[in-house]
Amino acid sequence: MPIARSNPVVRAIFLALIAFATTVPACHAPSLLITPVSGRRQLEETELSRDTLFARHKIALIDISGTIQNAETGFFLSPGDNPVSLLLEQLDVARRDSAVKAVILRINSPGGTVVASELMHDEITHFRKTTGKPVVAVMMDLAASGGYYVACACDEIVAQSSTVTGSIGVIMLMFDVTGTMNLIGIKSDAITSGPFKDAGSPFRAMKPEEREWFQKIVLDMYDRFVKVVAAGRPKLDEAVVRKLADGRVYTANQALEVGLIDRIATLRDTVDVLKKRTNSTAVRLIAYQRPYDYRPNYYAAAPFGLPPWSPSAPATANVNLLNISLPSSLLPRAPQFLYLWAPGY
């Protein structure tokens, strides 16, 4: 076949599919459909629900799931999206559509990198200012650290009754493997242009002056986080936020009591509130997805950009008590500054 001879990789995949199809027992063999598909990747609108046949107004549902990072999240044979880029792409579609009257930002994330969280926050803030369309954050299982940071850009923050949120703070993850290196007789010897050039290296113990400098950087980023929360929660002044921002997580009831969220409600309740807020008697709840993704309702997640706890997601490292997984691609080879809840790291 010409397509198989044209590329060794394509040929190998093609032969593997043939082998799979011919070796699975016939009585339990699944259907295997090979069909040409378009390479078009532009977002398409999918209707998740409709109040009435003639509903014109729309509410867009946009997901932020898994670890927040400014990098592609794909894995072998599955193209992935950069979460920051995907969010901006979805907001741009909602911005251009006059029928979209509001956006629900559904967050299920333990957080992620500092810069990626800030970028998402900035894009949501810009969307609200330029369109006047309300954006409501709806927290699911977990919206901690960077996930809460992003939520603070919204007009309102809503949590499910069993949501865990908070973890306001910054963590810098580093390793020290000098003990293991000594056991196997390996020594690192770096030549640097300055005394701080290899600061944070896992191949030697950290010097006191290096720890002091990194602590200043972490506290500077922490101050930024506190100011963002104070700006997003106008009923809380900065002093109160600092008391709450010691890294701990809160249940939905606790978060409501201290003012970190506005309401405890379901996604369906939130849609009803937005209908009243936008003077819409009937709406269509829509989402944006890549071609060939299937989403039958608003509980379904798109295949691309799978949250790490999805059964179809790639292998990950379990990093905390709630079984929230950190993708192996984010495990730092060098120090990283993170808005991330990872107590078991």
Active site residues: 145, 197
Residue with token string 């040929």 = 11
Residue 52 CB coordination number (10 Å): 10
Q: Is 48 helix (H, G, I), strand (E, B) or coil?
A: strand
Q: What is the DSSP string of 71-98?
A: S---BTTB----HHHHHHHHHHHHHH-T
Instruction: Give helix 114-131 / helix 208-232 axis angle, nearest 10°.
Output: 20
Report d(CA 194, CA 155) in Å as an integer: 46
The pair of structure tokens assigned to 145 is: 């650290």
Inter-residue contact 110 to 144 (CB < 8 Å): yes
Task: Tell me the three state secondary structure of residue 124.
Answer: helix
Quote the CA–CA distance of 252 and 235 in Å, as a whole number.
18
> Which tokens in the block code for residue 209?
């002056």
* Alpha-carbon gap, residue 86 to 140, rounded angstroms: 20
| Count of beta carbons in the 10 Å neighbourhood of residue 220 | 11
CB atoms within 10 A of CB 118: 22
Our CA angle for 153, 246, 341, nearest 5°, is: 65
List, in sequence order, every beta strand (DSSP E) within 145-262: 156-159, 164-166, 171-173, 249-251
CB 34 within 8 A of CB 90: no
